[in-house]
Every structure is written in C-alpha cells, then in structure tokens.
Structure 1
Amino acid sequence: MSLLTIGLVVVAGFFAGLIGYVTGIASLVSYPALLAAGLPPVAANVTNTVAMVAVGVGSTANSGSALQEDKRTLIRYAICAAVGGAIGAGLLLCTPAAAFEIAVPFLIVAASLSLLLQPKLRELAGDRTFPRAYPIGIVLIAIYGGYFGAGAGVMILALVLVATASDIWRASIMKSYLLGIANLMAALGFALFGPVNWVAASAMAVGAFAGGWCGPAVVQVLPARPLRWVIALCGFGLAIWLIPR
C-alpha cells in the first residue's frame, strides 16, 4: 500500500468517523474506501470492524461524562454489547454470509423507519421505558454489528430513542459507546483469526478517532428532527446499496 493510499485511507477514516457518529452508518464511507484501496471484500469487512473501534473511543473520550446511566447499568449494557459482538464475529468466521446478508437491507430499512417514527412511538409509550427488551435488543444488534456492521449504528440509535427517554444527542453518545464495545469484541476475534490488513486498519483508525472526537460537538448543534430525517434517508440509501446483486 503506497503512502498516498495510506493518506487517503486516513482521510476516509475521518469522514467515516464523523459521519458514523452523526448518522450511524460509518461503513457507507469506510467499507467502499477499503475496497478502493485494494482489499478483497472479506478482508475489507474485518479491517473495517477493527478500524471503527476508534470511533467509539474518540467520541466516548470527548463526551463519555454525558452518559446518564449509573456505572452498574453501563457495565451491564457493555456486557450485552460485548457478548453480541463476540457472537457476531464467530458467526462471520464460521458460517457462510449469504443468507444473513439478504436480510441486512430489510433490517436497516426497519431501523430507519423506526427513527422516522420515533416521536410517535415515544408518544404511544408515554413515560414507559423497556428495561427488559432494551438489553436484549443491544445483544441482537451487537451480533449483527460483529457479523457485518453496516447500519448497526442506525439500529442501535433507533433502539435507544424508542426504548428509553434519551434525546438524540445522548442517544448518539450511547450508540457510539455500545457499538464501540461490540466492534472491539469482534475486532479481537478478527485480530486472532481473521484476514485483517493492519496497515489499512491503523491508518483508518487514526482518522476515525479524530472523526469520532468531533462527532458529539456536531450533533449537539444540529436540530433533532432534520437529523432524524438525514439519518433515516442515509439508512434507506445504505439498504439499497447493500441489496445483493
């Protein structure tokens, strides 16, 4: 990999980190960038997962104090995300991906729709939260995130907004925290058993950390309703892009 290509991967990582924090779909930038850098699809997928750990690290380092849950609750949610991420990585390494990839666009569409309908869903829920369904949802989405990852941020953001009373800024922080843990667990598995391109992963991680660091400040000044629409439309676009050819 040439120095120019490495530099372009760093730049792509920054925009992936920023867009990933704001919209939850970093892979819309990072995965195609790794393919363009010459990585084959499976290597690009696992390398992308390893690099995107840096988004969660950067954003949590910049705004982790804004997480509302107590430490015990955060640890419980982190365990859910870690278990799911590890299971997803194991599935990717041990099973064929074709059947699951067929369902991916539909899952992303469902998450995007739930974002658009989030105010109405919260209105119907009233003051209720869903403490039992919420951890289960974290595990299931983390499994998907460890397995493939594209759109997992949209899914977690939708889950947090619908299942809790968080506003979109705090939900974005929680999304980045949980997704970062799921990616970390998957990345550990890929580091041991997967075809990670460490030069590309390191270069993209540098940019992704910077993009994740800038993300909370950007989301904090954006109006919630247009942001939901932008995220949902990006999710629909990603779903169309991921339809098996």
Structure 2
Amino acid sequence: MGAAEIALVLAAGFGAGILSSSVGVASLLSFPILLAVGLPPVVANTTNTVGLIPAGAGGVVGYREELRQVRGLAVRVVVLTGLAGSIGAALLLGLPSSVFEWVAPWLILGTCLLVGVQPRISRWLAARHPEGENRPARVRLSPLTTVFVVLTGVYGGYFGAGAGVMMIAVLAIGLDIDLRIIGALRTTSVMASNVVAGAVFVVVADIDWAVVALLAVGSIFGGYVGARIARRMPAPLLRAGVVAAGIVAAITLWT
C-alpha cells in the first residue's frame, strides 16, 4: 500500500471506531474502503472483523461508568454474543455469502423500525401490564430476549454490518434501562462477537495483517471518542442517529 492508502485505512479505522460506539454501523464505513484498496471480499471481511476489535475495547473504556451499573447483565450479554459469534464465523466460512447478504438489509430495516418505535412499545406494554406503570423494571434478559441476543451475535460473527443497530433494538425492547446503558452493552457485545469470530478467522482464514494493524490503531481511538460522544447525546437524538445509520446501512447493502 502507498502512503495515501495507509492514511485512508487509518482514517477508516478511526471513523469506524466512532460509528461502532455511537450508532453501531462501523463495518459499513471500513468494509467498502478495504475493498477499495484491493482486498478480496472474504479477506476484507475477515480482516475488518479482526481490525475493529480494538474499537470495542476503546468503546468499553469510554462506557466504563455505564457498564459498572449493569455488570452482571454485561457479563451475560458478552458470554452469549461471544459464543454466538463463533457460530457466525463458521457460517461465513461454510455458507454462500448470498444467504445473509440477501436478508441483512431487511433485518436492519426491521430493527431500525423497532428502535424508532421502542418508546411507544414500552408505554403500550406498561399499559397492558396488570400493575400498569408500577410494574417491576425489566433488568434481566428474558428467554425471548436471550434468543434474539444470540441471533444478533451470530449475525455479528458472520458479517456484522448493522449488528450494533440490531442489538440496540433487541435490548431496548427487552429491557427497561437507559438508552446510554444499552449503547454500552451494544458496544461490548459487538466486541465480544468480533473477538471470538476473529479468533476463528486467525486460525482458518486469510487475513491481511498490515491492514489489521492500521485499522486497530485508528479504531481504538475512534471507539473511545464515539463512546464519549454518545454518552452526551440526548436519548432522542441518539435514537434518531441509530435509525438513520441503519437506513443508510440497508441501502448500502442493497446497492
């Protein structure tokens, strides 16, 4: 790679790190750039997954105060998505890419809709509950929410574009906790999925390690910056950003 391509990949890592910790669509910035600098699609995907692991680490540091508030929940989400990520990695290596590429835009659009209407759904559920507004807050994963967390982790290990948006939707519908904390859990879960999938790719897939190093350097700083930005955004603005990013993600995957 020349100097211009090196700078481009570094910038892609930094930008993807910011997006990973804020609105959850990091791969939609970095993956096309890796294709543009000449990596084959599968190599670009595996390299991108490994290179963006530090973005999650930076995001976790940036969200450390939120994660302390839900430590037990965070551990459970990390374990579930980590295991699920290994399944997704196996699917990437064993199935035609067209399978998930076809369904991914529809999944992302559906989860964007859920993120957008989640406050109304929560109010509706509260009204339908026998105890109304005084029902106990949902601070643990229900069996149904657990299933969708695992499915999102599988998708994250397979391709990952929009997985952060999906995870926000799943957790926002299934839990009664602040959206910023959900953002922290999302960032941590995506990192867990990437770590396990990346470990699989290191053993059995082709990876461009020079590009990994560049992405890693940029993304760890971007992940931290993105988390600090998201922590200060009003919840409606953050929700709108997630929805907008998800719509862009779906359109990008269609084109």
Residue segments in structure 1 that go unaligned for 5+ positions in a row:
none
Question: Per-residue CA shift, 1:60-115, capped at 9, x if unaligned?
Answer: 123224212243x4333222111110000001011112122111110000111011
Q: Scaled by the length of structure 2, what TM-score is found?
A: 0.90
The answer as to whether partners of 1:89 and 1:190 remain within 8 angstroms in 2 is: yes
Higher alpha-carbon deviation: 226-235 or 29-38: 226-235
The answer as to whether partners of 2:20 and 2:56 remain within 8 angstroms in 1 is: no
Question: Per-residue CA shift, 1:128-184, capped at 9, x if unaligned?
Answer: 535222222111001000011100000001111111112221111110001100010
Distance in 2 (CA, whole Å) between partners of 1:14 and 1:74 is 25
Distance in 1 (CA, whole Å) between partners of 2:71 and 2:17 is 26
Partner of 1:82: 82
| 1:69 paired to 2:70 | yes
Q: What is the aligned-residue RMSD (CA, Å)?
A: 1.5
Measured after TM superposition, the shift of residue 186 of structure 1 is 0.4
Give the counterpart letter for 1:215 in structure 2. Answer: G
> Identity rate of aligned residues, in percent?
35
Partner of 1:91: 91
The answer as to whether partners of 2:81 and 2:150 remain within 8 angstroms in 1 is: yes
Distance in 2 (CA, whole Å) between partners of 1:77 and 1:39 is 32
| 1:217 paired to 2:241 | no
Distance in 2 (CA, whole Å) between partners of 1:28 and 1:182 is 17
Question: Per-residue CA shift, 1:27-69, capped at 9, x if unaligned?
Answer: 1211111111211111111111111211111111232242122
Partner of 1:26: 26
Distance in 1 (CA, whole Å) between partners of 2:62 and 2:235 is 20
Q: Scaled by the length of structure 1, what TM-score is found?
A: 0.94
Distance in 2 (CA, whole Å) between partners of 1:235 and 1:8 is 23
Partner of 1:125: 125
The answer as to whether partners of 1:62 and 1:216 remain within 8 angstroms in 2 is: yes
Aligned residues: 243
Q: Please list, as runs of the form range in 1=range in 2, the aligned pairs for 1:10-25 lying within 5 A after superposition.
A: 10-25=10-25
CA shift in 2, pair 1:230/1:65, >3 Å: closer
Higher alpha-carbon deviation: 180-189 or 216-225: 216-225
The answer as to whether partners of 2:74 and 2:185 remain within 8 angstroms in 1 is: no
Higher alpha-carbon deviation: 17-26 or 131-140: 131-140
Distance in 2 (CA, whole Å) between partners of 1:118 and 1:112 is 10
Match of 2:208 among 197, 218, 221: 197
The answer as to whether partners of 2:105 and 2:250 remain within 8 angstroms in 1 is: yes
Give 3-state SS (helix, strand or coil) of 2:109's partner: helix
